[in-house]
Structure 1
Amino acid sequence: MAHIIVVGNEKGGAGKSTVSMHVATALARMGHRIATLDLDLRQKTLGRYVDNRNRFLTKEELELPTPRYIDLPEIDASSLKPGENPYDHRLSAAVSQLETEAEFILIDCPGSHTRLSQVAHSLADTLITPLNDSFVDFDLLAHIDNDGQRILGPSVYSEMVWNARQLRAQAGLKPIDWVVLRNRLGAQQMVNKAKMEKAIAKLSKRIGFRVAPGFNERVIFRELFPRGLTLLDLKDIGVQQLNISNVAARQELRDLVRELNLPGVSVTF
């Protein structure tokens, strides 16, 4: 059975698709069979990222390890029983298609609450939640008091993850390994940054997630998308000397993959 990695939260702009593509490509480069799904059926940012990669590699006549991507298959509505949700069946069919041929299935969720996202979270062996370093994003996980010091209670996304955990427990599945990334960090040490660090550390113990390093805010990520490339591909396309920022970003990716502690994965890049 494939190990299912879900990348999700309910807010856009946290870097979910960037994290998804870099983790998936890192696994492919290390020789693992990795397949991907994009549940944002409108934007399909991850799907377009992989498509950009395939077109660029074809144009440049290059062969680089690339995660497999498929769209969710369509379901004949007439085959459904009364009350059955077609989205459940579409996701189930996609996972069934991939799980016998892939070691890992990575599912990129939309930045909103949808039925597909809810079901995907209940399938997650590893859940990665990128979070901008802001109390606006933190509010997705928990409500806090006015000074940002005291946690008042879990918020909507944490409650959804809790429900997914309960469903897995009822089905006799192993618990979700929930990893929250402090993503798109700024370089400066600011008061808000220190408060966020304390609040996330406190919340992690209360609702049960691990905190892992994400990516700092870097222009390179925006530049890579049109060609479908990742930080690990730069030397393969002729970049002989990586600048300090690129070297640091590769180390951030290395630290992230290592911290995920995925089964059978030894970081070799």
Structure 2
Amino acid sequence: MLVQPIKEGTQSAHVVVLGNEKGGSGKSTTALHIAVALMKAGQRVATIDLDSRQKSFTHYIENRRAWAQRAGVKLEQPTHFCVARGESASLDANEAQEFASFSAAISAIERSHDVVVIDTPGNDTYLMRLAHSMADTLVTPLNDSFVDFDVLGQIDPATFSVMGESHYAEMVREARRQRRLVDGKLMDWIVVRNRLSTLSSRNKRLVGEGIAELSKRLAFRSVDGFAERVVYREFFPRGLTALDDLDETTLGTRPSLSHVTAREEVITLLNALHLPLSENGKRRAAARAEWYSVMDQPLQVHDVIA
């Protein structure tokens, strides 16, 4: 649900939530790639970091701003908020404080932006559940292993068949139910398989079969995400993404084939998410593409979302 009801004649921002109760799955990396892709497509994007302890998403965006200034390059910047967790001894007081801060952030951006991208902590918190309950699109990055698969379901150790659903899957089911009760809308849930091996393996096949079986039970879509590439880790200190200009000035190093391959798999992922684009954003992107054409400069990523 959105913090404020939608008034007639207004349109609320599309909410994309990155969620997984396990850390290290690539939520922040995926979140920034989604945000940058949408901005390059002409969308007005706001971002919210709900993990005020780690602040990986916030640090990623801060690094992006600092590198743009230091390298003298233009990098798209979202409107960003980091919502602090309540630290008092009272659970009720903490939840009230967190709700007020989150509500203020949403109220400030939901009518002025096309999309809000929210990165959630890797543990079960009040803010994490609140964000899930208002998601239009829920993206769950998952490392391609049975250790991470356990977040979604339990596996029979002999047959590797799915025996049941996990705590996180049950939480998402409840969040979807609550969303339907509030405004009748359906949440699109996408599980993204990250750190995929470039080689076929028994583990890759079995994990894939388990995800396919769970997707039928839980009604989510499964898509391939980011392979295990060093370049993704190297992007973080400079706040870069695979969608930014692949030149030495922007990257701070000479581009390699790995950079190009990373861009191709990111664009494939983003197209698979089927995120909506506002008409005004499409016109802004078209005008920008025309400007680049007139200036005889190549536009590196002019339309990454189908």
Output the TM-score relative to the length of structure 1. 0.92
Partner of 1:249: 262
Q: Give 3-state SS (helix, strand or coil) of 1:23's partner.
A: helix
* Cα gap change, 1:32 to 1:198, in 2 (>3 Å): same
* Cα gap change, 1:39 to 1:238, in 2 (>3 Å): closer
| Native 8 Å contact 1:73 1:93 kept in 2 | no
Report whether the alignment pairs 1:143 with 2:154: yes
Report whether the alignment pairs 1:268 with 2:281: no
1:200-239, aligned counterparts within 5 Å? 200-235=211-246, 237=249
Identity of aligned residues (%): 44
* Cα gap change, 1:124 to 1:238, in 2 (>3 Å): closer
Q: Give 3-state SS (helix, strand or coil) of 1:235's partner.
A: coil
| Native 8 Å contact 2:95 2:126 kept in 1 | no
Report whether the alignment pairs 1:59 with 2:70: yes
Instruction: Give ranges in structure 2 of 5+ residues lacking alignment.
Output: 1-11, 283-301
Amino acid in structure 1 at the alignment position of 2:124: H
| Native 8 Å contact 2:152 2:165 kept in 1 | yes
| Partner Cα distance (1:84, 1:41) in 2 | 14
| Partner Cα distance (2:262, 2:221) in 1 | 21
| Cα-to-partner distance string for 1:153-187 (whole Å, 9 max, x where unaligned) | 11010011011011111112311100000111112
Partner of 1:23: 34
In the TM superposition, residue 74 of structure 1 has moved relative to its aligned partner by 9.1
1:70-149, aligned counterparts within 5 Å? 70-72=81-83, 85-149=96-160
| Native 8 Å contact 1:142 1:153 kept in 2 | yes
| Cα-to-partner distance string for 1:123-178 (whole Å, 9 max, x where unaligned) | 10000000011111111101121135321111010011011011111112311100
| Partner Cα distance (2:235, 2:124) in 1 | 28
* Cα gap change, 1:114 to 1:68, in 2 (>3 Å): same
* Cα gap change, 1:241 to 1:207, in 2 (>3 Å): same
1:3-18, aligned counterparts within 5 Å? 3-18=14-29
| Native 8 Å contact 2:14 2:115 kept in 1 | yes
Partner of 1:159: 170
| Cα-to-partner distance string for 1:200-227 (whole Å, 9 max, x where unaligned) | 1111011110011200011001111111
* Cα gap change, 1:162 to 1:60, in 2 (>3 Å): same
Output the TM-score relative to the length of structure 2. 0.81
Q: Give 3-state SS (helix, strand or coil) of 1:70's partner.
A: strand
Amino acid in structure 2 at the alignment position of 1:99: E
Instruction: Give ranges in structure 1 of 5+ residues lacking alignment.
Output: none
* Cα gap change, 1:170 to 1:230, in 2 (>3 Å): same
- What is the number of equivalent residue pairs in this alignment? 265
Q: Give 3-state SS (helix, strand or coil) of 2:208's partner.
A: helix
1:39-50, aligned counterparts within 5 Å? 39-50=50-61
| Partner Cα distance (1:110, 1:199) in 2 | 25
Amino acid in structure 2 at the alignment position of 1:248: T
Moved more, 10-19 or 230-239: 230-239
| Partner Cα distance (1:74, 1:150) in 2 | 39
Amino acid in structure 1 at the alignment position of 2:272: E
Moved more, 256-265 or 116-125: 256-265
Runs of 4+ with deviation above 4 angstroms: 81-84, 238-242
Amino acid in structure 2 at the alignment position of 1:14: S
In the TM superposition, residue 242 of structure 1 has moved relative to its aligned partner by 4.2
| Native 8 Å contact 2:15 2:134 kept in 1 | yes
| Native 8 Å contact 1:184 1:216 kept in 2 | yes
| Partner Cα distance (2:84, 2:198) in 1 | 42
In the TM superposition, residue 62 of structure 1 has moved relative to its aligned partner by 2.1
Moved more, 147-156 or 98-107: 147-156
| Partner Cα distance (1:15, 1:84) in 2 | 27
Aligned-residue CA RMSD in angstroms? 2.2
